[in-house]
Amino acid sequence: MSTLSTELAAEIAKTLRTPWVERDGQKVPASDDIQLGNHAVKLNGTVLYADLADSTKMVDGHKNWFAAEIYKSFLFSAAKIIRARGGTITSYDGDRVMAVFIGESKNTQAARCGLQIQYVVREILEPAILKRHEDIVYRPRHVVGIDTSSLYVARTGIRGSNDLVWVGRAANYAAKMSALSDKFSTYISEDVYMDLNDSAKFGGEPQREMWTKQISSNLGLGIAYYGSSWQSSP
């Protein structure tokens, strides 16, 4: 084997045979909080993904500078709302942002975040685009996915280039829900829905249910989930 192959084989063997050192987390960890070896933080958290819909079509159909303006505006808005609602931003990936919420009100805060992102996209970003670019036909669309579960957080990569990996149902399901149809702007799992307080479950005057249970699922994961296109001012 080559020198690189030998190094990789040795590192893989080391990872597979080394026992894990685990600790319970009291906050959302940053990369520096976890060692590169087999160390992990365990916590209960709610994961949110906010994703621009059909961004490939936008990039293919519009100038690069226009797509960059939309990316920047959407991600900036989503990130500011996430922080205002007590969430911690854990990563950006192209046209989407991932965040984690912890604490007793984590599901309500994450759900409110989804409703507030919808407000900003519909009531602030879309009118701003129409005003600034009257000659461009584009309507921003997005999807937010939210789930909650126990999470196992480890640090992965190599020295000088590494990040955290979030292992647990919530990370996978939230990402998959953010890739659903933009028929609804926010999707939440049933576990999130069942833990919402009334301020995040009912809206309007007179008040009525803001979430619609989805009977059939194209998630391929066998969970019940809810969708909403309601919006709430930040």
C-alpha span between 186 and 92 (Å, rounded): 18
Which residue's entry shows tokens 């590494």? 162
Return the pLDDT at 108. 98
Which residue's entry shows tokens 């939440």? 188
Q: pTM of the full predicted structure?
A: 0.94
Q: Give the containing element (helix H, strand E) for 167.
A: strand 161-167
φ/ψ of residue 145, rounded to 5:
-120, 135
**Within a 10 A sphere around the Cβ of 86, how many other Cβ atoms?**
16
Residue 216 has pLDDT above 80, yes or no: no
Q: Which CATH class is domain 20-228?
A: alpha beta
Q: Give the containing element (helix H, strand E) for 143.
A: strand 142-158
Please give the structure tokens belonging to residue 50: 């906010």
Dihedral sign, Cα of residue 32, residue 38, residue 42, residue 45: positive
- Farthest-apart Cα atoms in the chain, separation: 71
pLDDT tens-place string over residues 197-207: 999 999 999 99
Ordered DSSP codes for 168-189:
SHHHHHHHHHTTS-TTSSEEEE
Please give the structure tokens belonging to residue 69: 């303006």
Please give the structure tokens belonging to residue 211: 């979430």
pLDDT tens-place string over residues 102-152: 999 999 999 999 999 999 999 999 999 999 988 888 889 999 999 999 999
pLDDT tens-place string over residues 32-51: 999 999 999 999 999 999 99
Proportion of the chain above pLDDT 70, given as a percent: 97
Which residue's entry shows tokens 């084997």? 1
Which residue's entry shows tokens 């046209």? 95
